[in-house]
Amino acid sequence: MSPTWRCLAGCALAFCSLFFGVSLGAASAEPAPERAKQWSFEIHPEARARIDPVPRDRLVDDVAFVQILGDVLRGPLPLEAKVDAFTLMLDRIGWLFGGTVLLRPGHGYIGTLGGQVATYVTYQDSLRAPPELARDLARQARKGCDREVVRCASALLLAALVDRQVAAETALQIVGTGRERAAQIPDILIHSIALSAALSREDSVVVELAPLLDRVTSEEAREDVLCALSMYASPEVVSIVTGFVERRFPKSQGNSVQTALVVAKLRLGDGFVPWVAKLRSGLEPEAQAALDAIAADQFSPPLISVPGSPLKLWDGFGAVVYDDGVQVTHPSGFRYFRKS
């Protein structure tokens, strides 16, 4: 195990106070019409039959979640139904990624994702599943992503819970060949790639995600990669993060640069101030002021207000907020209803 992995729990807590945003908009007082609640992606009927009857209050209990998931994985369901059952379970607890992430109250995105990873680690340690299942899930994660990206992404994340090494190999194979670009919605697959890399518990895995920082166009997809990197403290990780800022600022001052500066601030420690001073030299006064504001955490990424917590929305996705949830759409035809 990489020694830097042991910082995960502390890092997640440290990041919580470093990345806040403002909420924009307001929730509708109207409940969503039935047509707005329809998903565009297929769920295997046997998965629905298995998971729909399970009360949500059981699934939000970590011990029960792992027990139910283990029963599903050891049971007779076909592979696609097992993956879809996991998708439904994530949806029920609010962790299914479909272009949005509900931030934990008082936490930013890095703290929210760090909390998820810390929980998934406990799942890895206690989940009982057939060891050969990981290879089957890895094959599922590479199949049909141009049409069924949610199933691919769920298969990859589930593989990480069953066998983190197999999942990491699969994630890096996808990145190494650039196959994420062929996915129906690359950002959905990249989200699971970043989680799977973080869950490898090896910094040598997360550094292999670096090409995505310059390859993807989505600010939020780059943030996912930076979040995975943030959980490790090796010199190579620090170099990747600081190099990303140095290449992009001041031309870009978007969410990913802001997030990278947050990561750099924690990882550089006392070296952060002199690094920022070096970065400031030669910049126009306006760019210097922008850098100072970002470095001082005086930035507010745009979020959507939903009942209870702010919702982070990815590039290219649209959202309609209702009293009982959020309808998320994408130009590809993707539709997902996230219940409140």
Domain spans in the chain, listed from the N-terminal domain onward: 3-25+33-232+302-312, 234-299
Q: What is the pLDDT of residue 24?
A: 29
CA dist 329 → 38, 84, 338 (Å): 11, 20, 11
List 88's β-bridge partners, or say none.
none
Residue-level pLDDT, tens digit, the chain, 340 residues: 443 443 443 343 333 333 333 232 344 568 999 999 999 999 999 999 999 999 999 999 999 999 999 999 999 999 999 999 999 999 999 999 999 998 887 778 888 999 999 999 999 999 999 989 999 999 999 999 999 999 999 999 999 999 999 999 999 999 999 999 999 999 999 999 999 999 999 999 999 999 999 999 999 999 999 999 999 999 999 999 999 999 998 888 888 998 999 899 889 999 998 999 999 888 888 888 888 887 776 544 554 545 556 889 999 999 999 999 999 999 999 999 999 8
Q: What is the pLDDT of residue 197?
A: 98
Q: What is the pLDDT of residue 170?
A: 98
Q: What is the pLDDT of residue 307?
A: 54
Q: What is the pLDDT of residue 298?
A: 53
Q: Nearest Cα to 262, choosing from 289, 210, 214, 226?
A: 226
Q: Looking at the chain, list the stretches that DSSP marks H as alpha helix, in order from N- to C-terminal side.
A: 8-16, 45-51, 56-59, 62-74, 79-93, 109-126, 133-141, 149-162, 164-177, 186-198, 203-206, 210-215, 219-230, 235-248, 255-268, 272-280, 285-295
Q: Nearest Cα to 260, choosing from 19, 82, 70?
A: 19
Q: What is the pLDDT of residue 295?
A: 76
122: phi > 0 → left, psi -120 to 50 → alpha, else beta; which?
A: alpha
Which residues does 112 contact at the CB level (< 8 Å), separation at least 6? 101, 102, 103, 104
Angle ∠(172,122,42) on CA atoms, nearest 5: 60
